[in-house]
Amino acid sequence: MHTRAVLAPCYKKQIYDRWISTREERSALEGNVDSSILISLVMPVFNTAPWLLDLAVQSVIDQTYENWELCIVDDGSLRPSTIECLAKYQAADSRIRVTRSEQNLDISAASNCALAMCKGDFVGLIDHDDILAPHALTRVAGCLGANKNLKLVFSDEDRITMSGERLEPYFKPGWNRLLLLEQNLVSHFGVYDRELLISIGGFREGLEGSQDWDLALRAAHKLRDSQIQHIPEVLYHWRIEPRSVSTSSVTQSRAVSAGIRA
């Protein structure tokens, strides 16, 4: 009988760390791009711990590509430190704009409010506790500049722990319309043509937990395969956080239900 070898988590982590050091650092140094494309980033925020929000916003500020705007909607945060953190960044960088809702709208409505703030040619989605790779927008802009026909691009992703360890990379196979029906292939990091998002009505309320998957499905339905492109690099680090929408048991159940409806 032949059995399949299973790598221990610590060994897989070592392999991925080695991959990062040998492949990713070299990749980040490659290429020049036209900086004329304005990329808007949508970030809904609700009661985020300031240190997590600092890391998320700073990952945008640290982008090697500088023609961006960060559109944040504070979805009725009650935590004073969250509100103060947002005010600090808005005052420090004119590319960061913050709008506050006095009541909690939930993530889809808040994301639509942020989308309405966007002035860019393209719109990327980033959660309030996640991190973009420093060269993420450079790669996106390079891809969009090289092919003016593109309306949607997406990258590979991994997970990041509360202590900053990166693990569980998702190296995607490229654009696959059938695979998108089975899983959210596009998020993260998905960047859409802004006019496309407006034409499909933005995020649908009532699908919280799978609102970004639903958005990807409806956007892809409007596009030809030639208008969608995969960027085969890990450009997004998705936070593993006990209270995040992606990890808590209550929100996982909610997300599954929303995913079925999407």
Residue 19 binned pLDDT confidence (cut-offs 50, 70, 90): confident
Residue 25 binned pLDDT confidence (cut-offs 50, 70, 90): low
Residue-averaged pLDDT of the chain: 89
Q: How far is CA 92 from CA 49, 57, 127, 181, 246, in A?
A: 19, 12, 21, 41, 31
Q: Count the helix, strand and coil residues of the chain and give each as a percent rounded to the nearest 5.
A: 40, 20, 40
Percent of the chain residues topping a pLDDT of 70: 85
> Which residue in 234, 232, 233 sits closest to 160, CA to CA?
234
Q: Describe the crossing of helices 249-261 and 211-221 by its angle, rounded to 10 degrees.
A: 20
- 214 is written with which tokens? 């639903």
- Which amino acid is present at 244? S
pLDDT at 255 over 60: no
Residue 63 binned pLDDT confidence (cut-offs 50, 70, 90): very high
| pLDDT 10s digits, 86-121 | 999 999 999 999 999 999 999 999 999 999 999 999
Q: What is the pLDDT of residue 10?
A: 58
User: Looking at the domain 34-261, which fold is it?
Assistant: Spore Coat Polysaccharide Biosynthesis Protein SpsA; Chain A (3.90.550)
- 256 is written with which tokens? 């599954």
pLDDT at 262 over 60: no
Mean of pLDDT values over 207-214:
94
pLDDT at 249 over 70: no
* More confident site: 130 or 17: 130
Q: What is the pLDDT of residue 256?
A: 42
pLDDT at 250 over 70: no
- Which amino acid is present at 16? Y
pLDDT at 167 over 80: yes
Domain boundaries, the chain: 34-261
Q: What is the pLDDT of residue 64?
A: 95
The phi, psi pair for 112, rounded to 5°, reads: -65, -35
